[in-house]
Structure 1
Amino acid sequence: MSPKHLKGLVKTVITKLEHKINERRSAGLLRTLKQTDDLTDFCSNDYLGFARSAELKQLIREAEGNCPIGYTGATGSRLLAGNTRLAEEVESQIAAFHRAESALLFNSGYDANLGLMACIAGREDTLITDELIHASMIDGARLSYATRYRFRHNDLADLESILTKVQGQTYVAVESVYSMDGDLAPLIELADLCDRYGAALLVDDAHATGIYGPNGEGQVVALGLEDRILARIHTYGKALGVHGAAIVGPAVLSDYLTNFARSFIYTTALPPHSYLAIRAAYAHLQCCPETRTQLHNRVACFRQKAAEYLPEASWTDSRSPIQCLIVPGNEAARQVADAAQQAGFDVRAILSPTVPAGQERLRLCIHSFNTADEIDRLLAVLQKSLAGVPTL
């Protein structure tokens, strides 16, 4: 229905919405949905190629064929009709894999972070967050009644200056691998600092799940910190190629979240298919450690070749699969990304205000399935398109 057929208040609201959209379009910031199935993937979070894996797809099909559950949907929240033996079995397997007492499944990483951050700290408590945490953690923190502070990204001195003046129980929230920069949090030093001041550390391990650790358990396990972190968030729509998320930690944490995390309590549970897919993804992860090795080799290859093709370029300090090329200015970043897409590569520009002005970038994701030839050809395209474009 077009706006001219609407009347009264609805028409007024539609006009306001159109005005907001036009403002964003005029500023060059309008977001649109795109299909890029025919482009070489340097964009997605499918780091290990699991989302396109025929082997994983077959494992899921076999699991569905062997599953006695006759429902296609959960039929309700976990606290009503949606809890099953399957859900609890998968949670137990997740907890064991990540070396934790318990795990609680959420419908997405966004839901997990939102629920945790909103409920973990009370009115008399303090919540301190790295300035670059994910939007889901920010939104959850905004819903919290706790006193809130932000510290400069990965700046231990700034964090300590805040810790010296807080009251009540304090919680510090970080990511292990930051999604927009690709750099790693100094988790050992953060854990030491939190121990010194009696603060509890919360770690979003989403972009490390499946990639770091002896078997892909994440960065927390890779560093041997699993007994010093209150809560870890693992998501399944990235390296594991399926959907959903889990918060792992002490058993009492799962009990607490079951009672206070609104994004868990008041939503329909995951369907049986999702539990089976998550379990299959973990099984596949343990069966093909060579895929992780290949991913890390591809990242090293990309970094070496990037230094050769673009010696003057500015990159974020990342050794993870997320490699970010700084191209200041929304228009400049968009032009370079468009050139890469026209050459057949799925590359996206990250624009301000998503990142600070002057820090606009191309967020390049390296995968186990990217070839050395693809890396060469992409970097050659970037080299050509960056000619004459200033970089930081």
Structure 2
Amino acid sequence: MTENRGQLESILGALLARRKSQSKLRMLNIAPGSSVDFSSNGYLSLSTNLAVQKALLCRLEAQVAESNSPGSRKSILGSGGSRLLDGNSSFAEALEAKIANFHKSEAALLFTSAYDANTGLLGCVPQPGDVIVYDELIHASVHEGMRISRAAKRIPFAHDSVSATHYSQNAGNRIKKPSRQSKNQGLDDVLKQLSSDERVARGKTNVFICVEGLYSMDGDIPLLEDIVKAVDRRLPSRNGYIIVDEAHSVGTFGDKGRGLVCQLGLEDRVWARVIGFGKALGCAGGVVLCSSTTRSYLINYARSLIYTTSMAFTSLASIDVVYDYLISGQSDLSRHNLEALIRYTHRQLYALYTHLHPDRSILHVDETPFRSPIIPIFTIYPRDLAGHCQRSGFMVRPIVAPTVPAGSERVRVCLHSANTKEQVDGLCTAIEVWVQSRVVATSETRDNYLEATNVLTKQDKPQL
């Protein structure tokens, strides 16, 4: 047995060693309980909210009491199977109706994760000959869905760019990332080229346009209204179908946290939305918001739904409790606190940046105020900066290629409503100490290089 494994283990070990040599090796780790959380996705701090936790415990206790009744099949543990077999329940269907109503959607279908929701939706809906157009920085789950889909073409467009003219007019509202020329065209240009195809122009070929409501690595928001206008203009046969992944935007945007699509009033212009419960909502799982027809189609064809054990009562109850919390308006204060903290954090970080004025390669914070709780701090030393912050008691994460394009590495700071201004100040102090030490180290390295160069130059001079 060991001999048979030997060659494979050597191959796998070599691949891991190569990744490690490239500083790309991924490892599991546990954040110290004493560190300040500037890393997790729970922007509204609902998973640690005492009222939410008490409500969930009451639901679970009631379910346990019912499960002890004679002949009861109820349980708080396993669901019993997939939704199509023994895993469905009236509670799950009532929850879907509640979610659909809250987000002003005709229907909703639960998945075990937003990843499964994206792969299920894109893996089965596009028909042979259809086209998928997607933002070049779209989430990996969308890429996986496209990979298994029957679409004839998958075309990326430049991130956050509807058209060159429009982008330049709105540049003041966007985060200026390190210079990175995209090889892809803007969305409008891609749709213009597609509309020259007769089948697309006549509405015989469907075009699916995939974007995110909030991009998890850059913290920026798409120009969704202009995306809708571009789709209407270039695809007048109404064969353009916009899909918005709202995993990070639900809870943080819109009235009561309904998300970006509802905030902009585009519910009738966006064909489908994918929502993840593991971010601001503090739970686990995902849902597709769509028409009743699309919901029925997914039940019949989405493999990530059909062949997966459905969520247990514990997961469904936690989602239900959180939606009750949102619907009641109790989360509004958390959202307002978060918005105030976002503004404060930008002022502090930008003041630090302008005071220290480091080389952009060491640290860069944009002047444009942040609009989301995801804050990228650009540096070519993300691991070093993140490590220093972690040792100082602040949990932030380095984000490197290939998760983000090479040349746009950064440390990502995620804010939460439970964070305080004092914690933000502490993080800024840690960053300041690191920048000062990095500037000194960089200066010493440059001086040593120049000194060594001068010595070599003198040695190379001919003796007279």
- TM-score after normalising by structure 2: 0.80
- Deviations 1:8-64, CA, capped at 9 Å, x for gaps: 2x2211111111111111222111111112210000001011111222111111112
Matches within 5 A, 1:84-123: 84-123=89-128
Q: Aligned equivalents of 1:54 and 1:34: distance in 2?
A: 27
Q: Aligned equivalents of 2:270 and 2:105: distance in 1?
A: 10
Q: Aligned equivalents of 1:25 and 1:134: distance in 2?
A: 24
- Deviation of residue 164 (structure 1)? 2.1
Counterpart selection for 2:331 from 264, 283, 288: 288
What's the C-alpha RMSD, in Å, of the aligned pairs?
1.4
Matches within 5 A, 1:309-324: 309-311=352-354, 312=357, 313-315=363-365, 318-324=370-376
The answer on 1:27 being equivalent to 2:17 is no
The answer on 1:148 being equivalent to 2:154 is yes
User: In structure 2, do the counterparts of structure 1 residues 93 and 153 end up closer, same or farther at CA, with 3 Å as the change threshold?
Assistant: same
Amino acid at match of 1:349: P
Q: Aligned equivalents of 1:194 and 1:264: distance in 2?
A: 30
- Deviation of residue 293 (structure 1)? 0.5
Q: Is residue 40–residue 346 contact of structure 1 (8 Å, CA) maintained in 2?
A: yes
Q: Residue in 2 aligned with 1:56?
A: 52
Q: Aligned equivalents of 1:315 and 1:230: distance in 2?
A: 36
Q: Aligned equivalents of 2:149 and 2:298: distance in 1?
A: 14
Q: Aligned equivalents of 1:234 and 1:260: distance in 2?
A: 20
Q: Residue in 1 aligned with 2:383?
A: 334
Q: Which moved more, 1:63-72 or 1:210-219?
A: 63-72
Q: Residue in 2 aligned with 1:253?
A: 294
Amino acid at match of 1:49: S
Matches within 5 A, 1:298-309: 298-309=341-352
Task: Tell me how many residue pairs correspond in the alignment.
Answer: 382
Task: Return 5+ residue gaps in structure 2 as ranges.
Answer: 68-73, 164-185, 195-199, 358-362, 443-464
Q: Is residue 232–residue 248 contact of structure 1 (8 Å, CA) maintained in 2?
A: yes
- Deviation of residue 84 (structure 1)? 0.6
Amino acid at match of 2:335: R
The answer on 1:357 being equivalent to 2:409 is no
Matches within 5 A, 1:78-89: 78-89=83-94
- Deviations 1:268-302, CA, capped at 9 Å, x for gaps: 10011111110001112232311111011111110
- Deviation of residue 161 (structure 1)? 1.4
Amino acid at match of 1:125: D
The answer on 1:208 being equivalent to 2:204 is no
> Is the radius of gyration larger for structure 1 or structure 2?
2
Amino acid at match of 1:245: G
- TM-score after normalising by structure 1: 0.94
Amino acid at match of 1:314: H
Q: Aligned equivalents of 2:214 and 2:335: distance in 1?
A: 16
- Deviations 1:64-101, CA, capped at 9 Å, x for gaps: 22234522211111011111101100000000000011
Using the aligned pairs only, state the percent identity: 36
Counterpart selection for 2:313 from 251, 255, 272: 272
Q: Is residue 108–residue 287 contact of structure 2 (8 Å, CA) maintained in 1?
A: yes
Q: Is residue 180–residue 324 contact of structure 1 (8 Å, CA) maintained in 2?
A: yes
Amino acid at match of 1:73: G
Q: Aligned equivalents of 2:36 and 2:336: distance in 1?
A: 21
Q: Residue in 2 aligned with 1:46?
A: 42
Q: Residue in 1 aligned with 2:207?
A: 170
Task: Return 5+ residue gaps in structure 1 as ranges.
Answer: none
